[in-house]
Amino acid sequence: MNEKEMNEMKEKIYFYKDEKIKVHIDLLNGTFLNGFILKEARENVFVLDEVKLGEVYVFLKEIEEIEQFRERGE
């Protein structure tokens, strides 16, 4: 992920965090997380209140895509 892509991803993350929108995050390792972004713990590291796991750290460099969470069938 280059610097421009990182900045675009950060803008999306801040938007979802500030608007308290539930997100679906696809990670580069093929897994995903669902929940609410609570805060930026430190530069490029975010705290997510994940639906099943509780609070987890998400590193910006591990995110492939982030979008608004949608229930199945929406």
Please report which confidence band the pLDDT of residue 74 belongs to, taking 50, 70 and 90 as the band edges.
low
Please report which confidence band the pLDDT of residue 72 belongs to, taking 50, 70 and 90 as the band edges.
confident
The answer to pTM > 0.85 is yes
The reported pLDDT for the residue numbered 19 is 98
Q: Do 32 and 44 form a contact (C-beta atoms < 8 A)?
A: no
Q: Tens digit of pLDDT for each residue in 7-59?
A: 999 999 999 999 999 999 999 999 999 999 999 999 999 999 999 999 999 99
> In which region does residue 12 sit, left (phi positive, over 0), alpha (psi from -120 to 50) or beta (all else)?
alpha
CATH of 3-68, one of 2.30.30.100, 3.50.50.60, 1.10.287.3510, 3.20.20.70: 2.30.30.100
